[in-house]
Amino acid sequence: MKILGILVLCFAAVQPAWAQEQGPEQLVQRITDEVMAAIQSDEKLAAGDKARVLQLAEQKVLPHVDFEEATRLAVSRAWSRASAEQQKALVTEFRAMLLRTYTNAIGTYAGTQAKLLPTRGRPEGEARGSEATVRYQFSRSGGKPVLVAYEMRKTGVGWKIYDISVEGMSLVLTYRTEFDGVLKQEGIDGLIKRLAQKNTSTKLAL
């Protein structure tokens, strides 16, 4: 869960209107700077206060994530077989699961330093048309640096993140492997039920 936590930790901080005016690198940099500043300046947030974390996520983080695209990729071939109602339910539960991971992990990263890295083979953060990859390095004093790559796509409302990799481990592919087993055994409704049960149990624990 620690790797999944850092995967969703740095999705935060600009208003959606600003996001439309920024390229992928500028958006991720501002997001990262604002999240790290919030953790360092708010003791309750750094300590993992769930109410503070939820507020930060809902207001600053979630508007910059393409949950439908992330869910589609995580569910893979089953997505095309799902009804519109099932697709909506999958996106809702996947969103809730990522939010749960975020609330459990954010306090772990107080004191972490973030550094934007050049994009290999082209200027930093340059987009490939409607696609872009932005790379960051996260480190703590005395610890090994962690490489994070943000996969982004340009939408009608600006650039959005649909996948993150930590040291080459993709968030979407990690969940795809987990979801695939459930889909084979229990089908789409079974996956929705499993996710809903996990999310509900977490809410009761808050």
Specify the pLDDT at position 119: 64
Please write down the long-range contacts of 161-167, taking CB distance under 8 Å and 24 or more positions apart.
161/11, 161/28, 161/64, 161/65, 161/66, 162/65, 162/66, 162/69, 162/70, 162/73, 163/70, 163/73, 164/7, 164/8, 165/7, 166/3, 166/6, 166/7, 167/3
pLDDT in tens, 57-101: 777 778 889 999 999 999 999 999 999 999 999 999 999 988 887
pLDDT in tens, 183-201: 999 999 999 999 999 888 7
The encoded tokens of residue 47 equal 């300590």
Q: What is the mean pLDDT of residues 130-146?
A: 87
pLDDT greater than 50 at residue 147: yes
CB atoms < 10 A from the CB of 121, how many?
Answer: 6
